[in-house]
Structure 1
Amino acid sequence: MDLAIKEPRRAARRQSGHLSTSRPAELDELSPDPDVRNDTDENMAVMFHQLRRKSRNGPAKLENLILNRQSFAQTVENIFTLSFLVKDGRVEIDVDDKGDHLVIPKNAPAADLIASRKVTNSQFVFRFDSKDWEVN
């Protein structure tokens, strides 16, 4: 059996060619145009309108508002939309005597009250994943 000893490879330097330099595009404006509405704004308007309409018969149950049994992604998008309504003070989530979470539309506080800190909002975070969605 003849075994040949292989010589180790020698490292070769890469030749550096002339690399073109590029710069990222500069943005003309740093903040989005307040007159342009995006999908989240549209979803918020639709959800708030639904809440106002249904609130004539009493507050809406949280699970009835956000849960889409055919689409986990749509359920997550509904939670996302609702979170903005809560943050803006346009919606209140309360718990009734039975332990059900109720969503109640309300008038958002005036900008001057928010700026003067006379109005405070409290928010909470909850975990919701596909396993929770499948249980419901």
Structure 2
Amino acid sequence: MGGRKMDQRNPNFSDDDDEDDSPLEWEKIGRKALAKSRRVPVVGFMLGPLSIEQKKRAAVKRAKLEKNKADEKKPQEIKEEDISRSGNETTKNVAIIASKLEEMGEINLFRFFINPNDFAQSVENLFYLSFLIRDGKVALDSDEKGEPIIYLCSPPSEEDFVNGLRKRQLVFEFDMDTWKKAIEVFDLKDPIIPQREKAKMRIGDKWYG
């Protein structure tokens, strides 16, 4: 910068050295100075220490969420009379199906329970029919073509079971595709089991259909 190189052979320099045009090697001077000093060099600022102002956090007010009691929904209670009514409805429909089967005699299973106008009621008809089959009041068999048929029968007695009669469980798969195919194959137009009104069930203070 504006200094002169110090003569390495003589550490003492005089005014005559000002005539030397070689620049000072500040890096070497710094290393030699540090070797004689035990003070750790620190970083400083030309304008002095910076004044850091600590920011204050703005207090955020959080409003407490209060539930509106009017908007709270209480669970609907199913009363004993609702269950009783549902059970009576099932018993009534099972009796109607038994009466209709007695009127029809031996008949193809699909022709009997399928309602070509209502898939849901077809499922319900099969459900009610299953009670009669379970209790042994309706027999499920197959005809000479291998198609399933049903007819009324007398429930088995205790003697029949003693003689070796065994109950068998049957899993019957019935979906909408099967329903549509059966309608097409058997050319079904009208239901044998009469169309029922949509059942309504009372839950709590409301009715659901």
Whether TM-score is above 0.5 comes out as: yes
Does residue 47 of structure 1 match 2:97?
yes
Q: TM-score, normalised by structure 2?
A: 0.44
Which residue in the other structure is 2:33 paired with? none
1:117 shift after superposition: 4.8
- Across the aligned residues of Structure 1 and Structure 2, the Cα RMSD in angstroms comes to 3.6
**Identical aligned pairs, as a percentage?**
31
The letter of the residue matching 1:123 is Q
Unaligned runs of 5+ in 1: 1-6, 15-24
Deviation by residue 1:66-122 (Cα, 9 ceiling, x = unmatched): 111110001000110111111111001101110111101011235xx29x9535322
Deviation by residue 1:23-73 (Cα, 9 ceiling, x = unmatched): xx8x99xxx7xxx96111111111111111222xxx111011111111000
1:123 shift after superposition: 2.7
The letter of the residue matching 1:42 is K
Which residue in the other structure is 1:70 paired with? 117
Which is higher, the Rg of structure 1 or of structure 2?
A: 2
Residues paired across the two proteins, number: 114
Unaligned runs of 5+ in 2: 1-56, 65-76, 183-209
In 2, are the aligned partners of 1:90 and 1:105 still within 8 Å (CA)?
Answer: yes
Question: What are the within-5 Å matches in structure 2 for residues 13-92 of structure 1?
Answer: 38-55=88-105, 59-92=106-139
The letter of the residue matching 2:173 is R
The 4+ residue runs of structure 1 with deviation greater than 6 A are none
Distance in 1, matches of 2:87 and 2:121, equals 20
Does residue 131 of structure 1 match 2:181?
no
